[in-house]
Amino acid sequence: MNNIVEDLRNSISSHKFADIKKALSDFEVNKDNIETAKELIEVLKSDKRKNVISIGIKYEKSLEKYNKEVERVKLLYEFDKQRVKPGEYLAGVDEVGRGPLAGPIVAAAVVLDLDSLENIILEINDSKKLTDHKREELAEIIKRNAIDYSISLCDHNEIDEKGIGVCNNLVFLNSVKTLKKVTPSVVLSDGYLVRNLDIYNEAVIKGDTKSASIACASIIAKVFRDNIMKEYDEKYPNYDFVDNVGYGTSKHVNAIKKFGPCKIHRLSFLRNILK
CA distances from 202 to 31, 93, 97, 187 (A): 32, 11, 21, 6
Q: Sign (positive/negative) of CA torsion 207, 144, 133, 228?
A: negative
Mean pLDDT, residues 211-235 taken together: 97
The candidate with the shortest Cα–Cα distance to 157, out of 224, 88, 102, is: 102
Mean pLDDT, residues 101-116 taken together: 96
Give the pLDDT confidence score for residue 109 in this predicted structure.
Answer: 98
Cite the annotated binding site for a divalent metal cation by residue number: 94-95, 190
Residue range 29-44, pLDDT digits in tens:
888 888 889 999 998 9
**Strand-strand pairing, 105-111 and 186-190:** unpaired
Give the pLDDT confidence score for residue 2 in this predicted structure.
Answer: 56
**Strand-strand pairing, 90-96 and 105-111:** antiparallel
Give the pLDDT confidence score for residue 12 in this predicted structure.
Answer: 79
Give the pLDDT confidence score for residue 119 in this predicted structure.
Answer: 82
Calculate helix-pair angle for 2-11, 34-45, nearest 10 degrees: 20
pTM equals 0.90
Contacts of 82 (CB under 8 A, 6+ apart): none
Give the pLDDT confidence score for residue 204 in this predicted structure.
Answer: 97
Give the pLDDT confidence score for residue 27 in this predicted structure.
Answer: 87
Cite the annotated binding site by residue number: 94-95, 190
Q: Report how far residue 269's alpha carbon sits from residue 184's, in angstroms, rounded to the nearest whole number.
A: 35
Model confidence at 275, in pLDDT bands (50, 70, 90)?
confident
Q: Report how far residue 78's alpha carbon sits from residue 137's, in angstroms, rounded to the nearest whole number.
A: 23
Q: Report how far residue 45's alpha carbon sits from residue 53's, in angstroms, rounded to the nearest whole number.
A: 5
Assess whether pLDDT exceeds 70 at residue 258: yes
Give the pLDDT confidence score for residue 1 in this predicted structure.
Answer: 56
Q: Which amino acid is at 55?
A: I
Residue range 188-219, pLDDT digits in tens:
999 999 999 999 999 999 999 999 999 999 99
